[in-house]
Amino acid sequence: MYTLRPQFKMSVQEISDYNNLPDNLPDNNLTAKQKDFVALLYSKYISGTIDGRSWNRAMYKEEQQEKWPSGPKLKDHEAKRIILSNLVEQQGRKLTDKEAAQKFHSALTCRPSYAKLLQEIYSNK
């Protein structure tokens, strides 16, 4: 059975507040308070655990190399939200060995940041 490592488990309130943000699209502007919230979550769950230990640069910087299909470059908070959305999606999940094998195998063909996130957040117990 694969479960989230404790340092990646978000509170119910954090998940709720995150899910109440507007969609992550280039035309949707966040308030300063919302951007601070995104930065806080990213710092709490990603910067100190994955960025500082496993990658030689921040994961969101990898995402920033991409552009929106409409053309504009990703802003910091938009790139961080891509990573955080993947983390929020995994909250509360327990994967059997078969489910984990399928998820981890499919991650190999996904964005590098998604594969790295999955590698770091699950433990086999």
For position 53, what pLDDT does the model report? 61
For position 48, what pLDDT does the model report? 75
- Whole-model pTM: value is 0.83
For position 23, what pLDDT does the model report? 92
Q: How far apart are CA 51 and CA 30, in angstroms?
A: 24
For position 71, what pLDDT does the model report? 63
For position 64, what pLDDT does the model report? 75
For position 52, what pLDDT does the model report? 61
CA distances to 3, 26, 53, 71, 115 from 125, in Å: 7, 40, 22, 43, 20
For position 56, what pLDDT does the model report? 58
In tens digits, what is the pLDDT along the chain, a chain of 125 residues?
A: 999 999 999 999 999 999 999 999 888 899 999 999 999 999 999 887 777 665 556 777 777 777 666 667 888 898 899 999 999 999 988 999 999 888 888 888 877 888 888 888 898 87
